Amino acid sequence: MDLRVSYDLLIHGGTVALPSGLTRADVAITDGRIEAIGDLSTAAAAEKVNARNLHVLPGIIDSQCHFREPGLTHKEDLGSGSASAALGGVTTFFEMPNTQPSTTTAEALAWKVRRAKETSWADFAFYAGACTENADSLGELESLEGCCGVKVFLGSSTGSLLVDDPAVLARVLRSSRKRVACHSELEARLQERKPLAQKVHDHPVWRDEECAVASTRALLEQARAAGRKVHVLHVTTAGELPLLAAARDLATCEVTPQHLTLEAPDCYDRLGTLAQMNPPIRDGRHRAALWEAIRSGLIDVLGSDHAPHTREEKAKPYPQSPSGMPGVQTLLPLMLDHVHHGRLSLERLVDLTAHGPARIFGLGQKGRLEVGRDADVTLVDLKREHVITSAEQRTKVGWTPFDGLKVTGFPIGTLLRGKFVMREGVLQGKPGGRPVQVGALG
């Protein structure tokens, strides 16, 4: 018997993804927090949501997005990127520093936080970009409101951020206090092999497995020497996986849905430069190894690496065509379809998109359906069939490499701190995103 007078919202009758597993339960929310979980069928609430035949997941956390503001807002901005996120069931995003200007100073970081408070549909945090100038003061940047940690480009990609000198990386590792997230490709080898990049099918030949393996090997050695924890973003090669498995104490890692879904050469045949991203989509051997690592538990999180470029920019002749593709809105639908096909369990998906990010980034308020935490919830219909289209993508660039793909399983509601921001594919209310607290490492 529940003695409380009334909750703000009751989600009842659904299958709830608790930290302990999937269970039939009701979820009660008051003041944006989870107030109770259990059999609450007799409880009163100002609003009730019938979740029968639905799954109630902790809100999806996407810890790798490029939302392009400031400076590149013809591609995306914090409003459009976060609207895509909400439509895709994402309630929290971490955004990358390769904007213009790059996010390498306290002013640039504060600007983004201010802007996101005005325009974001999801909760947020921003990476500080590491560079030679700030390598000794990253701990100060990380302590500012809305900073999720440091991002290091060990190999060059979109934008000008690059740390290819091990001495600078050593300073970065020494000064940072949070998990250092790294784009791991070896710059010297990228430069050396650039002449091999003649046509888009050469993308994984130019930026080959050894570029990633050599970079990750060196990174792990440096992290061990410094006694610092690192996070390897978008792992793409079979060769990096044993290195990461041997370094569980100091490294966490991410895979993207694109690298689990697309495969060379087919993606380059079908999509041309739309399939061009860094590190590249590779052949079936690598894709199979990534799936094995998903199933074995080696991979900690999924990130979309949402990296929009306009169709016109992508139409430039390779290799002048920029690398990157949108993905924040398709992350969950693609992965639910993989669940439908039995490639991973729903519990594993919840770990990769909510429990895992909360664990590795130290998010005290997010990522778990637990009394006292923020009521960030993604409602999912595992039976819903949906054809993904470019037209429905809210990203400013208006395309997805998955246009025309039929998926089974779809997010039909997104709640941010107890309020619907998306219902049946329609944004609700107005932007109300807030900065997320990310814990420092001991």
Q: How many helices (H) and strands (E) does the chain have?
A: 15, 17
Q: Is 62 helix (H, G, I), strand (E, B) or coil?
A: strand
Which amino acid is residue 274, in one-letter code? L
Question: Is 176 one of the binding residues for ligand DOR (CB under 6 A)?
Answer: no
Residue where the block lists tokens 């993508």: 393
Is residue 179 at the binding interface for ligand DOR, with CB under 6 A as the rule?
A: no
184 binds ligand DOR (CB under 6 A): no
- When binding is defined by CB under 6 A, the residue of 102, 134, 278, 400 that contacts ligand DOR is 278
Say how far apart CA 426 and CA 392 lie, in whole Å.
11
Please tell me whether residue 393 binds ligand DOR under the rule CB under 6 A.
no
Say whether residue 307 binds ligand DOR (CB under 6 A).
yes
> What is the distance between the alpha carbons of residues 226 and 120, in angstroms, rounded to a whole number?
36
282 lies in the site for ligand DOR, by CB under 6 A:
no
CA distances, 288 to each of 133, 263, 294 (Å)? 40, 10, 10
- Please identify the residue of the shown chain whose CB is closest to the bound ligand DOR: 324
Of 55 and 314, nearer to ligand DOR (C-beta) is: 314
Roughly what angle, to the nearest 10 degrees, separates helices 209-226 and 166-175? Answer: 50
Residue 364 amino acid letter: G
Query: Of 62, 77, 208, 305, which one is the catalytic site residue?
Result: 305
Q: Closest Cα partner for 319 from 286, 258, 272, 284?
A: 272
Q: Please state the closest distance from residue 154 (CB atom) to ligand DOR, in A.
A: 11
Nearer to ligand DOR by Cβ, of 98 and 215: the residue is 98
Contact between 273 and ligand DOR by CB under 6 A: the answer reads no
Neighbours of 426 (CB within 10 A): 8
Q: Which of 104, 157, 256, 258 binds ligand DOR (CB under 6 A)?
A: 157
In angstroms, the CA 80 to CA 329 distance is 11
Q: Verify binding: residue 324, ligand DOR, rule CB under 6 A.
A: yes
Nearer to ligand DOR, 117 or 318 (CB): 318
CA angle 348, 349, 354 (to 5 degrees): 105
323 binds ligand DOR (CB under 6 A): yes
According to CB under 6 A, which one of 151, 177, 183, 338 is a site residue for ligand DOR? 183
* 374 tagged catalytic: no
For residue 158, state whether it binds ligand DOR (rule: CB under 6 A).
Answer: yes
Residue 128, token pair as written in the block: 């500080």
Length of the chain measured in residues: 442
Which residue, 75 or 368, has its beta carbon nearer to ligand DOR? Answer: 75
Select 55 or 68, whichever has its Cβ closest to ligand DOR.
Answer: 68
Q: What is the contact surface with ligand DOR in residues (CB under 6 A)?
A: 66, 98, 157-158, 183, 277-278, 307, 323-324
| Catalytic residue set | 305
